[in-house]
């Protein structure tokens, strides 16, 4: 089964701590894996950022919410023990413990209302109905949504500009990524080849120890294997070892499969990848806002 929402871990975590002993998150995760009947595939599912699994993230947030409600006590880093309030909550015999249940505790309401206000969801006199995702997941998903929208807008802007703009963009991107030496050197090599299937040549490094041959197609449709074969044929004619084919469209599965096992080495950059590279290397984009996510510096708290 997929990893449950983080509220589904509230009751199982309390039940693990019901014996009154101190428990670690590491031990608890092992037990929760069995209780929830989670497979290796389920446990490997990552957050959008790719920095942590959903399982680890949701268990950690569940423990944090229970501590805020004072039904668990955080005894030390990544360890907890049940409180008298937690025992009383379990004695209520509820089938499920979620955010609405924790709203019976004023300390939790104060914390949770402040969280909702930070997200712009509630006023001070309201309580928050928690979504299934953790705050970290919501932030990452929102970031990805904004990024996807920006990438789509970048491609639309590229298509509205003349072909020579796309040639300039390709040069700027390769230089931004560390290829081509100076902007002047890289630019002088683009659009000068005159060979069928090759639009330009760019240095792989500042010394020019090797070169990369480029093909740039501003297409809206799908680039198929025949177009890639023409490019590879041109590379063979130059005895070239490396090539990059860039398009604003996409590549067919046949084209992507073809380049996997051939010499010379050919990298395919489709429109989506092109736009994401532009975002990553600040090409045609400007920073709107920066949000820092901070965590506890455990080195500062030596006793932990």
Q: Which three-class secondary structure state does DSSP give residue 170?
A: helix
Lowest mean pLDDT among 15-19, 136-140, 202-206: 202-206
Instruction: Name the fold adopted by 162-280.
Output: Trna Endonuclease; Chain: A, domain 1 (3.40.1350)
Closest among 153, 70, 52 to 108, alpha carbons compared: 70
Q: Do 234 and 224 form a contact (C-beta atoms < 8 A)?
A: no
Q: Do 213 and 201 form a contact (C-beta atoms < 8 A)?
A: yes
Q: pTM surpassing 0.75?
A: no
CA–CA distance, 69 with 52 (Å, rounded to integer): 25
What residues contact residue 107 under an 8 Å CB cut-off, 6+ apart?
68, 69, 70
What is the residue extent of each domain of the chain?
6-133, 162-280
CA–CA distance, 298 with 124 (Å, rounded to integer): 33
| pLDDT confidence band for 123 (50 / 70 / 90) | very low
> What pLDDT, on a 0 to 100 scale, did the predictor assign at position 122?
39
CA–CA distance, 30 with 131 (Å, rounded to integer): 25
Helices (H), 8-105: 10-16, 25-35, 40-43, 54-68, 84-91, 99-102
> What pLDDT, on a 0 to 100 scale, did the predictor assign at position 197?
62
> What pLDDT, on a 0 to 100 scale, did the predictor assign at position 59?
95
DSSP at 130: -
CA–CA distance, 146 with 138 (Å, rounded to integer): 12
Q: Which region holds residue 98: left if phi is over 0, alpha if psi is between -120 and 50, else beta?
A: beta
For the cut 80, the answer to whether the pLDDT of residue 191 exceeds it is no
pLDDT digit string, tens, across residues 2-51: 899 999 999 999 999 999 999 999 999 999 999 999 999 999 999 887 88
């Amino acid at each position: 089964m997929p990893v449950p929402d983080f509220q589904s871990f509230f009751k199982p975590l309390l039940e693990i701590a019901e014996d009154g002993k101190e428990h670690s998150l590491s031990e608890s995760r092992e037990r929760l894996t069995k209780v929830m009947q989670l497979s290796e595939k389920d446990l490997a599912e990552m957050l959008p950022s790719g920095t942590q699994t959903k399982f680890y993230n949701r268990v950690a947030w569940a423990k944090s919410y229970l501590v805020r409600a004072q039904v668990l006590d955080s005894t030390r880093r990544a360890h907890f023990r049940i409180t008298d309030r937690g025992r009383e909550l379990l004695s209520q015999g509820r089938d499920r413990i979620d955010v609405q249940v924790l709203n019976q505790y004023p300390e939790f309401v104060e914390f949770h209302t402040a969280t909702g206000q930070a997200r712009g969801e509630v006023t001070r006199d309201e309580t928050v109905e928690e979504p299934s995702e953790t705050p970290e997941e919501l932030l990452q998903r929102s970031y990805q949504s904004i990024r996807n929208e920006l990438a789509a807008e970048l491609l639309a802007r590229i298509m509205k500009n003349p072909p020579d703009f796309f040639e300039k963009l390709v040069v700027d991107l390769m230089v931004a990524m560390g290829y081509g030496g100076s902007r002047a050197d890289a630019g002088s090599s683009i659009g000068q080849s005159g060979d069928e299937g090759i639009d330009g040549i760019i240095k792989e490094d500042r010394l020019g120890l090797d070169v990369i041959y480029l093909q740039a197609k501003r297409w809206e449709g799908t680039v198929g294997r025949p177009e890639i074969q023409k490019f590879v044929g041109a590379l063979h004619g130059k005895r070239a070892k490396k090539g990059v084919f860039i398009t604003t469209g996409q590549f067919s599965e046949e084209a992507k499969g073809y380049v996997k096992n051939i010499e010379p080495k050919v990298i395919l950059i489709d429109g989506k990848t092109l736009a994401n590279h532009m975002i990553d290397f600040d090409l045609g984009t400007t920073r709107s806002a920066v949000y820092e996510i901070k965590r506890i510096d455990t080195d500062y708290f030596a006793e932990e």
